[in-house]
Amino acid sequence: MNDLTRGAALAPEQASAGMDAFWMPFTANRQFKAAPRLLARAEGMHYYTPEGRQVLDAQAGLWCVNAGHCRKPIVDAIAQAAASLDFAPTFQMGHPMAFELAERLVALAGKPFDHVFFCNSGSEAVDSALKIALAWHRLRGEGQRTRLIGRERGYHGVGFGGISVGGIVGNRKMFGPLLPGVDHLPATFNLKEQAFSRGQPQWGAHLADELERIIALHDASTIAAVIVEPVAGSAGVLVPPVGYLERLREITSKHGILLIFDEVITGFGRIGKPFGWQRFGVIPDLVTTAKGINSGTVPLGAVFAREGIYDAFMQGPQGAIELAHGYTYSAHPLACAAALATLDVYRDEGLLTRAAELETCWEDALHSLKDVRNVIDIRNIGLMGAVELAPRPGAPGARAYEAHVKAFFEEDLLVRYTGDIVALSPPLIVSREQIDRIAAGLRSVLERID
């Protein structure tokens, strides 16, 4: 135990000793450091605190540990890669695992996806996809298609591309004018019309028609791509209305606009199929992924391209670099080894469809909380869920934050919160008993919050 891990057991004023230097991401640093919540190790469905308390992980780390924690085949594969090929460049060089992984991924996705571009995170996947979309139009002689359309409440990571098309005001307002030429669809969520929907809400497909309005304003010939999460995750599990994604596909196809699905959360089994587009039966042109690709073990992201997109780049002299884009760690050997082992675990344990098997159990467990005080909505799809609380007057976000803290310290349960929403996404190995325990723990917490 070092000073930092000991910190969890110390009084708040002592706890921050040795914690100051880490400028924590997306964290209320001072509040956290005054009363730290530390995780020291993990196994299967659980984290363990430095004092050894076992905490049930109801958020798969950060929507990513789909195979469960510290799975031996994945750990072994990473260790072996670290010992045999610590790093290899993929600029004008290659290593076998990168090619093998790309083949495995396109086989998993199936037609019409035939190529994969690697990066290291969801944010990078989004920036890569936006750049591929712009360059693709240009290569086809439509370089005037530069506009990008995102959606209110969308989360696409934190790169300038991602926050520009993203629609979470807190992530945008501090950082200047962002990318030019970006417009936004309205969010699909409407509490009055959709409260307590199970799975896809019936109301809201017409919101996709807003795209026609945006196109009429700018003209289709100026628009490169539309990017949406099939299910918005970080904004609090906003499930697409029945027919909405189909309509977006129809409109984008009609106008020659690329459709990008950001599947950083919905990819790799989260909603009952390997990819979200498969669940909804709507085929986009580019798909961004990360997180579950190797169960969150080593940073890795990937953009899947529909057939024809890669081919459009394969022109000009043989020796010309076709896409001037990439990262030092694109297809890092440790990340690839982890992904290959993770895909084996997913296949051998049927994890990429397990969310579909558990969906009814999950849905019933979450919706059993409907009568709990302050609960104003419950939403779910696959193994994603959200319980939305009425904001405390004058203190928005306080209730869900308290739920998160109480769940961790008093119920040994890790749940995520965003605004006044408790968001849930357990590892795909979760048992039915653990689902019941998540719901019971949350009920007990919420009943103790004013």
Ligand X SMILES: Cc1ncc(COP(=O)(O)O)c(C=O)c1O
**Selected binder of ligand X within 57, 183, 229, 363 (CB under 6 A):** 229
- Binding string, 271-290, against ligand X, x = CB under 6 A? -------------------x
If you ran DSSP here, which 8-state letter would residue 394 be given?
T
* Span from 134-142, 196-204, 260-268, 273-281 in contact with ligand X (CB under 6 A): 260-268
Nearer to ligand X, 122 or 419 (CB): 122
Q: Does 413 bind ligand X (CB under 6 A)?
A: no
**In the complex, least distance from residue 1 CB atom to ligand X, rounded to whole angstroms:** 29
Q: How far apart (Å, rounded) are the C-alpha atoms in residues 438 and 432? A: 10
**In the complex, least distance from residue 64 CB atom to ligand X, rounded to whole angstroms:** 8
Nearer to ligand X, 15 or 237 (CB): 237
In whole angstroms, what separates CA 424 from the centre of its chain?
12
Q: How far apart (Å, rounded) are the C-alpha atoms in residues 286 and 291? A: 17
Count residues near ligand X (CB under 6 A).
15
CA-based max dimension of the chain: 68
If you ran DSSP here, which 8-state letter would residue 385 be given?
E
Q: How far apart (Å, rounded) are the C-alpha atoms in residues 370 and 372? A: 6
- Enumerate residues 115-144 that contact ligand X by CB under 6 A: 121-123, 126
Q: Does 402 bind ligand X (CB under 6 A)?
A: no
**Selected binder of ligand X within 67, 264, 438, 446 (CB under 6 A):** 264
If you ran DSSP here, which 8-state letter would residue 353 be given?
G
C-alpha neighbours within 13 Å on the C-beta side of residue 318: 0
- Enumerate residues 42-71 that contact ligand X by CB under 6 A: 63
If you ran DSSP here, which 8-state letter would residue 7 be given?
G
- Enumerate residues 154-183 that contact ligand X by CB under 6 A: 155-157
Contact 373, 397 (CB under 8 A): no
Nearer to ligand X, 26 or 99 (CB): 26
Q: Does 303 bind ligand X (CB under 6 A)?
A: no
Q: How far apart (Å, rounded) are the C-alpha atoms in residues 156 and 7? A: 34
Q: How far apart (Å, rounded) are the C-alpha atoms in residues 162 and 376? A: 30
Residue number closest to ligand X, CB atom:
122
Contact 15, 34 (CB under 8 A): yes
* Span from 258-266, 326-334, 336-344, 400-408 in contact with ligand X (CB under 6 A): 258-266
**In the complex, least distance from residue 327 CB atom to ligand X, rounded to whole angstroms:** 12
Nearer to ligand X, 264 or 351 (CB): 264
If you ran DSSP here, which 8-state letter would residue 265 be given?
T
129: how many CB neighbours lie within 10 A of its CB? 30
> In the block, which residue shows the tokens 């072994």?
76
**Selected binder of ligand X within 66, 128, 197, 234 (CB under 6 A):** 234
**In the complex, least distance from residue 156 CB atom to ligand X, rounded to whole angstroms:** 5
Which residues are at the interface with ligand X (CB under 6 A)?
63, 121-123, 126, 155-157, 229, 233-234, 262, 264-265, 290
